[in-house]
A and B are shown apart, each in its own frame.
Chain A
């Protein structure tokens, strides 16, 4: 089912392994936990679902729990580092903190004045960062649920927020075309990354070592920027991204790759350094909104507007 673009001889293509159809509306976000045992998917149907991941099993992913409580569709979900909690950002302007084991709602974080769009835990998992359509980025304390800081981040909806690997920096991106880097301790802006043209930025995340950021813009381009020099080093094209906030990910389990969704219903995979398109995974029937890479196994999960989550693995020789 996967179309292969001939590349290096050592490249083993990914194949479709499973389709999960638990959601009744579009899937907005998929994430793996950091220990790789769980997968979470959030949807416009106001629920979050978790699945256990076992690479030895067939099927690999088994649905385990459903989290209900939001009053409106959910845009993003994130695991804490110990996979005990998940936080979700919803169009009902709140973030909700859930217990993964029991599925119960622990806390509701209130403060945003418009749709909460993106959310992430810091590596220590004592703080949550969230971006919203109200153009601010908020930092929350997990223990008390209090909003610690409100960053006047952008002049348009904030589309993505991420912490770096030691939790000291936050990167935020927005439709205003800017990516800003903030010091998470003080809340002060450290840097703004901007190029000559500033197409709306739909997604941003840190590289595993925190020195680079992967930026997706609504002109069908993905770029890898070096933060210190504020210049972009790599450009990845070939996919379609002009409308939706499509997420992308680093795949480091088997060679360094960039994986992204696309509005032409495929999952794209490029090689990081050579920027060559390695594979287009076909199977979804609508825009692929988000992708996630398993931390240790060669596994990719993708969520789409066609309400399904698909799991792709590498073909065994």
Chain B
């Protein structure tokens, strides 16, 4: 809605660290659908959800059963549920608004990554990728785990043996794989250790298509862009590849079936490959030819225009940003701590990166003041321009010529109620999205309030207030106004007068005094000989000393 009047800030990329968030040692982060909430998993097993607009903590989720480090967090599509996977092999599903556990299951191995099905509004189905076995679908409702195939079986149309129990009889071979859902959650795209992308229908546990990745190196990450049009793979050969998704957004399964039927004369792997070639085409490859580094946590920007990848070198916090055409546009360098997770805000040009020390850094655009926003007839010039006067610029014209033609048609209909459809809402608006958690103000305690009121009023007096309030302070010496105010204002005036040397003297006087640091400093500056250690709260003696 604001796109027409806000400058094209969207679609750009961040440049500097704006601030950082801290809450224990953070291991992984995830934005919700709109980017209004940021969920982070900690090393002590708890999760924290930040309100990204105020950068304050909105909710803390603590599981008493789990104290192992969190390996990944994932939001449901409308933000009602949060899936948390931890190092103690557990997967827990939480309800965000109540903060209560919905379900919990223990797997065979620690899941490194777990993703909720993005197609359902209240999903209880998720995809988990453990370290050393095939990715699996975990259904919380029926409490069952289904392993997904990581290789195409040789015989055509033979279903991969469905492993419906938690303890499969034959363990699948050690083949780490990465996997992700497609945009509507019908298919799972698996990147296996042979360097192939398998498109799998998880309901029937069948591989529908196969796309070989050039280089045939094991695939470490596989991620879709938000609009589902592009797919990104991060391979062991230090290359990030972008594929374009040729399948339609809806009815994907049927299109795949159709594709499969139309191919005659091919069986097994060949058939899969042919179908696969109709699903994905290689678009671009990114690598750092100079340092040949491994990449970590690559992902797309919210609009799919930019690709970001973190460098996996230890001791280095570098974030590389490419545009989709393949050009490296920026390298962001952070503090000297390794990067462990990365996320791009779905809407704004903001990147959030997690360092090994557990801090969450927020990268944003470096804002240069747009002066023409402050005065519409200002025009910003890049260089000095020679101003050439018009011939009649300074002529005295009769009044009539100066009347502005009113070109406003006041009879036009004005619509104050219809709202345009939000660009970021997907077509299905039947479910209400959880965009934000209601704010619970923390009540002021009584002493907190008194101290706060007094000390901050003093501070305000010292911090250079705008001239108007200074004048108001001088003019409006109301006899009835509280002591604190007047002290603040007079101190505000006095602060400007003493020279540096005088300030030093005053500071020295302040040293032997007890009390809160701020009030002490304030007293010192006013240059009052303090014999009493009384705090500032309502002390008549203090007042007299100032006047």
Contacts and interface: CB of A to CB of B under 8 A. Distances in A.
Given A191-B5, A224-B414, A133 B442 contact: no
B54 A133 contact: no
Interface in A159-192: 164-169, 180-181, 183-186, 188-192
Contact of A185 (B58, B348, B374, B375): B348
A227 interface: yes
A126 B6 contact: no
Interface string A259-288: 000000000000011110000000000000
Given A107-B443, A110-B453, A196-B404, A209 B54 contact: no
B466 A136 contact: yes
A47 to B, nearest CB: 17
A190 B373 contact: yes
Contacts of A166: 1
A8 interface: no
Contacts of A7: none
Contacts of B36: 124
Given A127-B54, A143-B440, A189-B370, A135 B417 contact: no
Given A228-B5, A235-B410, A145 B472 contact: no
Nearest to A214: B416
A227 B439 CA distance: 30
Contacts of B415: 209
Interface string B27-60: 0000000001000000000000001011111100
Interface residues on A, range: 35 or more
Contacts of B452: 108, 110
Contacts of A192: 373-376
A157 B417 contact: no
Given A233-B414, A252-B417, A107 B54 contact: no
Contacts of B453: 108, 110
B465 A134 contact: yes
Main secondary structure of the interface of A (DSSP, over half): loop
A183 B411 CA distance: 31
Given A211-B416, A256-B416, A71 B5 contact: no
A93 B370 contact: no
B398 interface: no
Nearest to A189: B373
Interface in A194-228: 194, 196, 207-212, 224, 226-228
B408 A188 contact: no
A114 interface: yes
Contacts of A232: 408
Nearest to B472: A114
Given A124-B435, A194-B375, A272-B414, A144 B56 contact: yes
Contacts of A146: 56
Interface in A232-246: 232-235
A143 B57 CA distance: 9
Contacts of A226: 414
A231 interface: yes
Contact of A93 (B416, B466, B485): B485
B466 A145 contact: no
A273 B411 CA distance: 7
B1 A210 contact: yes
B441 A188 contact: no
Given A85-B441, A234-B410, A114 B56 contact: no
Contact of A233 (B5, B412, B417, B456): B412
Contacts of A156: 468
B265 interface: no
Contacts of B418: 209
Interface in A84-140: 85, 92-93, 97, 105-108, 110-111, 113-114, 124-127, 133-136
Given A134-B466, A192-B376, A275-B410, A107 B4 contact: no
Interface in B52-103: 53-58
A113 B5 contact: no
A126 B374 contact: no
A312 interface: no
Interface string B481-514: 1100100000000000000000000000000000
Nearest to B373: A189
A142 B373 CA distance: 28
Contacts of B141: none
B436 interface: yes
Interface string B334-345: 000000000000
Interface in B384-440: 404, 408, 410-419, 435-436, 438-440
B444 interface: yes
B449 interface: yes
B469 interface: yes
Given A210-B1, A250-B416, A256-B417, A127 B468 contact: no
28 contacts: A97-B441, A107-B444, A113-B465, A113-B466, A114-B465, A124-B53, A124-B439, A126-B438, A136-B466, A148-B54, A156-B468, A167-B53, A183-B2, A185-B53, A185-B348, A188-B369, A191-B5, A207-B417, A209-B415, A209-B417, A211-B1, A224-B414, A226-B414, A230-B376, A250-B416, A252-B416, A273-B411, A275-B410
Interface of A: 71-72, 82, 85, 92-93, 97, 105-108, 110-111, 113-114, 124-127, 133-136, 141-146, 148, 156-157, 164-169, 180-181, 183-186, 188-194, 196, 207-212, 224, 226-228, 230-235, 250, 252, 256, 272-275
Shortest 9 CB-CB contacts between residues of A and residues of B: A207-B416, A126-B439, A142-B439, A113-B469, A114-B469, A113-B465, A141-B54, A189-B373, A124-B436
